[in-house]
Amino acid sequence: METLQQKTKSDWLKLPEWNKTQRNQVLKWISVVLTFVVFNLTIGCRSYFEVKTSIMPSSTAIEGVKHASKTIILHFDDKKYVLNDVQLKNNNLTGMLSDYKMPPTKHPVNPAGANRYRAIGSKNQRFLTNEVHLFVANFGDPGIMQVTIPMESIVRMEIYNKDTGTTVASWIVGSIAMIIPLLFLAGIIAYVFQWG
């Protein structure tokens, strides 16, 4: 007499036979899933940048930013300007203003955490990792292109840098999320061709 365990085991050994149409149907679905997996890897994994914030930054910190050749963005009220030809003299920051023309980030920048940006494609945002943002309480007429800003008017400085750790972790998790379905699909392909 066959036990329940033996009966279940023998049922698993009875594999269905696959005809050419069934095999092609399964392969078509496998190609759809593979396309989705590759798309998820290329689009789903993101690059990240972090924000280092200084409250009331010193002139030494500003000088360091200037020598790092980063783009200095000036925030006053709700407007952004690019500050060019930056000079530090007598505890004043001087430069020429121009309009900030880069596209806005998809989400507001979070100074306390990792922020995503697009690193590939025509709409990439790599420019973000080269920006320094100065928030000022007041300065001369923003309609005038040449400005002088007293250091005590700079209330905050945010330096945007690439967050390598979070970016690498994102790609590792994305790769693992891709490998698991691929292993599953490899098993299905082997099954289809072995028993077909």
For residue 68, is it within any domain? yes
Q: Of all residues in the chain, what percent carry a pLDDT higher than 90?
A: 21
Torsion 128-105-111-118 (CA) sign: negative
> From CA 68, how far away is CA 154, in angstroms rounded?
19
Mean pLDDT of the chain: 79
142's CB contacts (< 8 A; 6+ apart) are 76, 79, 81, 97
Neighbours of 180 (CB within 10 A): 10
Q: How many domains does the chain have?
A: 1
**Is the pLDDT higher at 83 or at 4?**
83
Residue 42 has pLDDT above 80, yes or no: no
Q: Which domain holds residue 151?
A: 47-165
65 or 52: whose pLDDT is higher? 52
Q: Is residue 19 part of a domain?
A: no
Determine, yes or no, domain membership for 21. Answer: no
Would 13 be classed as within a structural domain? no
d(CA 192, CA 184): 13
- Phi then psi for 158, rounded to 5 degrees? -120, 125
Asked if residue 9 is part of any domain, the answer here is no
Dump pLDDT digits (tens) for 99-152: 999 888 878 888 888 888 887 777 788 899 899 999 998 876 656 788 889 999
Q: What is the pLDDT of residues 2-41, one digit of tens each?
A: 555 555 555 544 545 656 777 677 777 777 776 766 665 5
Is 25 part of a structural domain of the chain? no
**66 in a domain, yes or no?**
yes
Q: For the chain, give the longest Cα–Cα distance.
A: 100
Q: If 0-12 CB within 10 Å is exposed, 13-18 middle and 19+ buried, where does residue 27 land?
A: middle
- 87 located within any domain: yes
